[in-house]
Amino acid sequence: MMESTWRSRNVERHRKTARTSYRRNLQYQRERSSEQYYKNRDAILEKRRLDRIADPEKYRSYRLNNIENRRKCSRQWRQAHLVECRVRYKQWVESNRETRRLSMRRGSASRRARKCLAFIEIVDPLIIYVRDKGVCGICHRRVSCEAFHVDHIVPLVKGGKHSYENTQLTHPRCNLLKGIKIEC
Ligand SMILES: [Zn+2]
């Protein structure tokens, strides 16, 4: 009680002392707050999730304004937790095989296209699958959604573009056979 009245009479002074002591014990403070964070991680993340839903605009602008800082922080964190990162990534891959397969595929097609300077747009294999109604563009038979290829109708090396217009759904086998024919 006493303390709080002293505080209320000396707000500025109290603030200053608190700030100095915080700075003096920065390492300790950081450890303590990270300890607190890990202890209440689920609750904190849940609260953030709710805040995000309540005011998405605020969250977005914060993200945009702090993009450099966030990148720096996560880079530092990754460097300090290399092993943990690798383990987590492996776990993530294990439980998200399908997502990862698709994103790797999207990335590698774009990279190939960029190399040939034919990059037009990001082509999503699933959209092509749906658009072509699951039918192979070469042999016109049904293709399984488990294993399919996205073929460039005019090959990239022949100046074709990496775009929805120049792609078709094919069987992996049909696509590879076509590739061999073109190379010959
Ligand atoms: Zn086919």
Q: How far is the CA of 53 from the centre of ligand 1 (A)?
A: 45
Q: Kindly state the DSSP code that residue 184 receives in the 8-state scheme.
A: -
Residue in the structure block whose two tokens are 């300077």: 117
Q: How far is the CA of 76 from the centre of ligand 1 (A)?
A: 48
**H or E segment to which residue 118 belongs:** none
Q: How far is the CA of 112 from the centre of ligand 1 (A)?
A: 22
- pTM of the predicted model, to two decimals? 0.40
Domain 97-183 has CATH 3.40.1800: yes
Question: Tell me, what's the pLDDT at 142?
Answer: 95
- E-assigned strand segments in the chain: 149-152, 167-170
Q: How far is the CA of 60 from the centre of ligand 1 (A)?
A: 44
Question: Tell me, what's the pLDDT at 60?
Answer: 80
Beta-carbon neighbours within 5 Å of ion ligand 1: 136, 138-139, 171, 174
The two tokens of residue 91 are 């776990």
- pLDDT tens for each residue of the chain, 184 residues long: 455 677 778 888 888 888 888 888 888 888 888 888 888 888 998 998 888 888 888 878 887 788 888 888 888 888 888 888 888 888 888 888 878 877 777 777 767 766 666 666 788 888 999 999 999 999 999 998 888 999 989 887 787 888 899 999 999 999 988 876 655 4
Q: How far is the CA of 138 from the centre of ligand 1 (A)?
A: 5
Dist CA 127 CA 134 (whole Å) = 10
Domain ranges within the chain, ordered by starting residue: 97-183
Select from 146, 144, 151 the least CA-distant residue to 174: 151
The residue count for the chain:
184
Q: How far is the CA of 132 from the centre of ligand 1 (A)?
A: 12
Dist CA 182 CA 174 (whole Å) = 12
Q: How far is the CA of 122 from the centre of ligand 1 (A)?
A: 24
